[in-house]
Structure 1
């Protein structure tokens, strides 16, 4: 059981989070509450832009705009030269995916719990090129089936052109074994793109250990940064063989009438225009996570989520849908006879934020597990308290 009294450390975390004064926030997998330092950084940057000009502020705040590169490098165990900052995680992911020269018969290997934005891109490339999507099944423990993945690479028809996996699904708490996927990718020299939107900020990620060629993430979720900014890790090996999907005058230099030269590092994936205030805020957010320590964050998040699952499962008519050997801070559930939209609305009336995951967000997983059209998604973070978990569970019990 979680202690109901806050420790001094937990009280400080909540004091650092202005939103905790007004709302019980269990939508951290959507957009977590930012810290006051992140908020003040953005406000100050916008004030400077309004008072002195956008270009001039970017020049004056050059150090603040460099911070996310080295803080993300520290978080992911890579060089800052391997980090690119973009407008969103989707923009980062697309820069990688559409830079791969798929041909007819090439296979895109992905998973049962792949996210809709990614899968739609697969379908578009299939339509354009004649590439093929192959969905790797799960084990009985609801992890990606590594043996099936390796068998597909070795014996499948057509070239395995890309392993593209989402680390944590948007609709479920289960975590895939990214390290095991990376080992297979390395062994067979198949490029590996990992969507880490839901994992970065809540659990340790080491790109050297994972062995991915690219990793994409967002600011707004478990890193507690601003909306409107995402990022990408690109390995040196990947940059030797693949160009970004698009290039502009930020990612490349126009060197002659008929030639261009890409930036030497991951900045080649970037585009000129971004939300610079959000970039500065991201740097502060990642620094905060690094100072807390991601190992401590992961332990705290898992503890809170486990407590929430146990308490929800005790309620009459409530089914918790998370299955897997390793579960994270996302808790998905439904209640007999009460639509998820009604549960969400009833909780909001009590100043409790949750979200809903719809079938269209992870269609393959919903259909294979025969889930309802949508499920309630309550996602915890380290600043949540045991008392807030009790409030959520009580509100779900009362919802009708």
Structure 2
């Protein structure tokens, strides 16, 4: 990777900040921002319809670049306004009945847990969470036993939780789902853009992602992957519009063939343009290059924090670029103050966002640093030294 060029492409680094909140909302490359500004300025002059028509081929590149990113076909990709939007549309395409079972994990994202509970309250769907092993990895034997016992309608797993560095074994889960022919939904909100994500290897039916995190795209963007199997079985969101189907009879419609049936007709095309450019940028750098470098950064940071004396809360055999920690006595406030005073960008996660995980860890919150491929080893060392001096 040409790190100097990558950093030059980020105007947001010009004020000397150290940006380590990529798991929240990352810094966009200049081409992403410029493409969106140009698009909106053209809309100002000739209107949105005309601009969309003129840029139709370029906008279509979003589907090609995203397909390249996760190893599928462009027909499997739908644009979404967020990962949550994509997740809700995937769930709404599944006709849940009273007594149906969803199996998920204790480490699934807060919004996913809430929507499962909502389905439980409104439709009497049963939600069951798999066990974790002593090393915090998924208990795959328990998952298989639960499938045999409950014959679930859906298995849902978050690839990387927002509240820890854990990378869950989504590929192994996919093999079990295939064996028992169970629908499989993966939340890849924190993994897409950070590491190689291959839907063929994962074997999922749905996969959701956001643009604003490690993809380095604009807020208000994301995408949904839908497998050929699901498309062929005519799954579609509960609330369709003319983007999803052709009105063929007074009281009937015909679904369109591709995953675009999961979109709505009215979207921000400037935002789609921005996410396309962000995806194209990541593909050009190369996801394997990004993943390998991110591992070096996060391993260095995690090791430094432990050596200094901070309590690092990332547990698992395979850890990501999300590094979670607190002071030796559980302190968060002093760490936040020191980071803010030194122009270091970070985030904090509290217990209400990771209720099960933080209850099991007996903590109320963590500071989260999430380096990405535009960061340098020198920045990691500088942050480590600043935190060391704060103790």
Q: CA deviation at 1:290?
A: 0.9
Cα distance between partner residues in 2 of 1:161 and 1:338: 40
Q: Which moved more, 1:184-193 or 1:51-60?
A: 51-60
Q: CA deviation at 1:395?
A: 3.0
1:185 aligned residue (159, 167, 177): 177
Which residue of the partner structure matches residue 230 of structure 1?
Answer: 222
Which residue of the partner structure matches residue 266 of structure 1?
Answer: 259
Which residue of the partner structure matches residue 163 of structure 1?
Answer: 155
Which residue of the partner structure matches residue 336 of structure 1?
Answer: 328
Cα distance between partner residues in 2 of 1:224 and 1:254: 37
Structure 1 contact 356–375 (Cα < 8 Å) conserved: yes
Q: CA deviation at 1:104?
A: 1.9
Q: CA deviation at 1:341?
A: 4.5
1:393 aligned residue (368, 375, 384): 384
Cα distance between partner residues in 2 of 1:393 and 1:120: 36
Which residue of the partner structure matches residue 38 of structure 2?
Answer: 44
Unaligned runs of 5+ in 2: none
Q: Which moved more, 1:346-355 or 1:227-236?
A: 346-355
1:239 aligned residue (220, 231, 240): 231
Matches within 5 A, 1:1-400: 9-22=2-15, 23-156=17-150, 159-241=151-233, 242-316=235-309, 318-337=310-329, 339-370=331-362, 372-399=363-390
Q: CA deviation at 1:90?
A: 0.5
Structure 1 contact 341–356 (Cα < 8 Å) conserved: no
Cα distance between partner residues in 2 of 1:126 and 1:338: 35
Q: Deviations over 1:157-216 (max 9, x none)?
A: xx3110011000001111011110000000000000000000011111111111100000
Structure 1 contact 114–364 (Cα < 8 Å) conserved: no
Task: Give the superposed CA RMSD.
Answer: 1.4
Cα distance between partner residues in 1 of 2:238 and 2:142: 30
Secondary structure at 2:308's aligned position in 1?
A: coil
Cα distance between partner residues in 2 of 1:142 and 1:72: 31
Cα distance between partner residues in 2 of 1:341 and 1:200: 31
Cα distance between partner residues in 1 of 2:353 and 2:330: 21
Secondary structure at 1:287's aligned position in 2?
A: helix
Cα distance between partner residues in 1 of 2:329 and 2:178: 48
Q: CA deviation at 1:336?
A: 3.5
Q: CA deviation at 1:296?
A: 0.9
Q: Deviations over 1:204-259 (max 9, x none)?
A: 11111111000000111111111111100001111233221321121122222211
Structure 1 contact 67–284 (Cα < 8 Å) conserved: no
Secondary structure at 2:2's aligned position in 1?
A: helix
Secondary structure at 1:273's aligned position in 2?
A: coil
Structure 1 contact 338–399 (Cα < 8 Å) conserved: no
Q: Which moved more, 1:262-271 or 1:233-242?
A: 233-242
Give the TM-score taking structure 1 as reference length: 0.94
Structure 1 contact 96–245 (Cα < 8 Å) conserved: no
Q: Deviations over 1:88-129 (max 9, x none)?
A: 110000001122111222111000111111111101111111
Cα distance between partner residues in 2 of 1:78 and 1:203: 16
Cα distance between partner residues in 1 of 2:337 and 2:274: 31
Structure 1 contact 217–230 (Cα < 8 Å) conserved: yes
Q: CA deviation at 1:399?
A: 4.2
Cα distance between partner residues in 2 of 1:232 and 1:341: 37
Cα distance between partner residues in 1 of 2:88 and 2:336: 32
Unaligned runs of 5+ in 1: 1-7
Q: CA deviation at 1:344?
A: 2.5
